[in-house]
A and B are shown apart, each in its own frame.
Chain A
Amino acid sequence: MTYVVTENCIKCKHTDCVSVCPVDCFYEGENMLVINPEECIDCGVCEPECPVEAIKPDSEPDIETWLALNTELAGIWPVITEQKEPPTDAAAWKDAENKLTLLSREPAKV
């Protein structure tokens, strides 16, 4: 089992989860974070930290797409180990729907 970052993270990218993860398994894209399922230890500490409830266990229904996306992008994006400021317009995107089309597959600039 693993936890997975889902749609709500796109263009919000709060990084509260990063500050609590004991194994540093978050990876950062331009406008989203993902979890590396190979490294996640299922401890669940990140789930309640997310202000937009983007983190879910992979036992949730219809999560396969997101699990595949997390697996793929964690292999491309750089690891993020420290919390940083969210995008200035994060609040405006909080409840937006169908954000998947807005996902940037580009890695974060570090």
Chain B
Amino acid sequence: MTTATRTTSTTLRIALAVALAVTLLAIAAWAIGRSSVPSAADAQRSQETARSAAYSEALAQESDAAYTSTYDAAFTAGAAAGTTEGTAAGIAAAAAK
């Protein structure tokens, strides 16, 4: 092995060792950086939780509002219908006697 070849081999080994070390450190740094921030799964879970909470709250509010706004009219209509039906039933009952 010539001196140039041996020198080149040594330099190549050192370069490969340095490159390997840098690569390993870079992978470790990437993993650390990746683990230090929220992932897509975390965002998905957060979205689902927020959606569920907002759904329940909106459902309750809107349901109460719609219930209140429709109850009175329905009560009036029901009362009228009840009067009509009751009158008919009463007439029928009276006729049956």
A and B interact: no
